[in-house]
Structure 1
Amino acid sequence: MAKISLVVGNGLSISFGNQSGISHNFDSQQPLNWNVICPTTGDLLIDNLPSLKRLWQKNISKPHFEIFGFALDKFYCNLIGLDSFKTTLEARHFLTIAFSEYSLLQSSKLNIDWTWFQWLELHKSEIKGALSFNYDLLLESTFDKLGVMDKIHAGVGSNAIYCLYLQGIKAMNQKTALFVMINTPRRMDAS
């Protein structure tokens, strides 16, 4: 009988990163340090996002997710000469591509030796639901590898169809989709 619901945060990714060795090059708390390649130019992605890069350079000692929060602060962006709308779009773009690559790397390294994989496998018949607050797809990839993804009810926030579509094409996970939906400034059409 199903009786476990999971709420997963960054600890799951940190555990996996430490056990798989990917945390040496990919600290999930500092994605701006990752060498993410721009799909169209082949250069570093951050070099193609000038507003985000400038925001990062002005706040180099700050935690990265605090920097992403600054992108949403219109007053702060104005103060340092940035357009908050453009900076937020660049932050969203960076997070989407960076964590898509990160999720692919995690998926390629996912194996049955990981402690949490073993625990989830042991308890998979008891798991009723799961909610991930991570930008990566580690929990979803683990459920998929265990063959239980269709049996687990995953929390996807307010726009389930949009989030499930993005997850289905492996573009992003729930948290990233919610960041995109909630934090993308909307401009009124003047017509």
Structure 2
Amino acid sequence: MGNICMLVGNGFTIDFSEKVGLNPSQPLSKFENEGISYSHFLPKLPAIREELFPLAKGEKNDYLAIEKFMGSPSYNWDKDCQLRRFLSLSYATLQLQLEHHNISQWHWTKWFREHRDELGMFVSFNYDLLLEKSLKVAGVRYYRTGSDEEPVGVPIVKPHGSIDFDIDSDHRSSERWEYTTALLDEGKVETVPKQEWLEPRFEADIIPPHKENYQRSLRWVKEGIATFKEAAGEFDTFIIVGHSYNEADRQEIDQYLENLHPGTRIEIVDPEPNKLLVAKINALGLELHRAGDQ
């Protein structure tokens, strides 16, 4: 196993997407791209269409609208299920747009290719597959922990879910809309092939933006955390890319930092890192470096 672990947030996807006219922070605004349509799934999500989308018109960004929607007194598991399905399908739509663009010359793809033998693990908070695509193009073999993928290559821990995760692929697409699911624990998640990314998930294990991870008790999530803890002592470099250390995610980020050995080199790829993140790193006796823009 390599000695570099990288923690990836939404800023990683923004770095590439903004170059091709997409804004991954705006799922309700169709990622600010006129070529995107949700007509194939939005009518099946009435709470999203009739309650969440109108909220977005009065908020300065989509994530605030999602927070307001989740904070409503009428919010329940049915609406939560609809939200998680919307996020899985909208970000799958984003991923399909990203697939049209050549990623081989992106600076992170080049970096992965150059450091291929040093990569030990990734922790990705992103639903999309841009990290996975970049690693594949760079010739880095990987697998996602807690999934049905063969555990060969560099592990990727995705505690907030992924657009291609589901727990039950036996139900026909038309049947899945009929069920309200509330974080069923099947032990592992199944990976959904590309041709089915726009099909509804039976169980979309997706944590909404700025929401504390309420699926940490699921076995597939716990497997990823255990995989990290087992390997944490081997890492001499921990790189944080594009994560703001927002309040909802702090406890999760801290559990990764707290399992690193003292003296681990921490690189933050952010010209203005969160001050609380810097304070946490210093308090743990880790060696902080501000990498700046790569």
After TM superposition, is the score higher than 0.5? yes
- Asked if the contact 2:104–2:138 (Cα under 8 Å) also holds between the matched residues in 1, the reply is no
Distance 1:113 1:160 in 2: 39
- Asked if the contact 1:3–1:128 (Cα under 8 Å) also holds between the matched residues in 2, the reply is yes
Distance 1:33 1:130 in 2: 29
Distance 2:186 2:130 in 1: 19
Deviation of 1:113 after TM superposition, in Å, equals: 1.6
1:107 and 2:123 equivalent?
no
Q: Which residue of 1 aligns with 2:26?
A: 30
Which of residues 55, 69, 94 in structure 2 aligns to 1:58?
Answer: 55
Query: Quick one: structure 1 residues 16 and 104, their matched pair in 2 at CA, closer, same or farther if it must change by over 3 Å?
Result: same
Q: Which residue of 1 aligns with 2:264?
A: none
Distance 2:187 2:132 in 1: 16
Q: Which residue of 1 aligns with 2:254?
A: none
Distance 1:77 1:47 in 2: 23
1:145 and 2:137 equivalent?
yes
- Asked if the contact 2:8–2:123 (Cα under 8 Å) also holds between the matched residues in 1, the reply is yes
Q: Which residue of 2 aligns with 1:72?
A: 70
Deviation of 1:56 after TM superposition, in Å, equals: 2.8
Deviations 1:50-85 (A, max 9, x none): 311223313423222233233433xx243xxxx533
Q: Which residue of 2 aligns with 1:42?
A: none
Distance 1:112 1:36 in 2: 27
Distance 1:148 1:160 in 2: 29
- Aligned length in residues: 163
1:169 and 2:187 equivalent?
no
2:5 is paired with a residue whose SS is strand
2:24 is paired with a residue whose SS is coil
- Asked if the contact 1:36–1:98 (Cα under 8 Å) also holds between the matched residues in 2, the reply is no
Amino acid at match of 1:52: I
Distance 1:115 1:84 in 2: 42
Runs of 4+ off more than 6 Å: none
Runs (5+) with no aligned partner, structure 2: 31-35, 143-152, 161-184, 199-203, 216-294
1:162 is paired with a residue whose SS is coil
- Asked if the contact 2:7–2:124 (Cα under 8 Å) also holds between the matched residues in 1, the reply is yes
Distance 2:65 2:188 in 1: 26
Runs (5+) with no aligned partner, structure 1: 40-44, 184-191
Deviation of 1:161 after TM superposition, in Å, equals: 5.4
Q: Which residue of 1 aligns with 2:4?
A: 4
1:179 and 2:203 equivalent?
no
More helix by share: 1
